[in-house]
Amino acid sequence: MVKRITTPLSEEVVRSLRAGDRVLITGYLYTARDAAHKRMVESLRKGEKLPFDLRGQIIYYVGPTPPKPGQVIGSAGPTTASRMDRYVEPLLQLGLKGMIGKGNRSPEVRELLKKYRAVYFAAVGGVATLLRRYIKSSELIAYEDLGTEAIRRLYVEDFPVIVANDIYGGDIFEEGKKKYARRAS
């Protein structure tokens, strides 16, 4: 069964998601990779406001390529989530409710997801061209000097992801390792 959700994420929606759920997201996502995360956290440490309100939002770890004529966006595949792990807590404290990337998260981030009641979604890597068809609009909103790593506001329809980590400690990567270990022995 596939769950359809819309952004911004409510507490009720976050509570309903479990590791392994297949999800289609409709609504706004914000893009940010390493450089944008570093700048956001530095801004917070200086007491500055962020370029968008994080409450209930989802950040997609992507640096889309420039669009070709007639396209909304270029290739838009997920980047490795663990590179953002050191920046997660200050953003969760401000109400961030979801992140999309590829690969697993550290044990510390998995604990933060439980503490702040947020989820991590995995998107399939290697299909950047395919994923862009779910992106209906793209607007640059901050850090233009970062080029492809600038923050963009994307409107997506039925963007496909899997809940990798939920607020209950569920982790599809750990569950997969255990399942494979049982089969191998």
| CATH code for position 148 | 3.20.130.10
Q: Which residues are catalytic?
A: 37
68 CB burial (10 A radius; 0-12, 13-18, 19+):
exposed
Tens digit of each residue's pLDDT (9 = 90 or more) over 24-45: 999 999 999 999 999 999 999 9
Number of domains in the chain: 1
Mean pLDDT over the full length of the chain: 93
- Domain hosting 145: range is 2-184
**How far is the C-alpha of 168 from the C-alpha of 18, rounded, in Å?**
8
pTM of the model: 0.94
**How far is the C-alpha of 164 from the C-alpha of 86, rounded, in Å?**
18
Tens digit of each residue's pLDDT (9 = 90 or more) over 92-127: 999 999 999 999 999 999 999 999 999 999 998 767
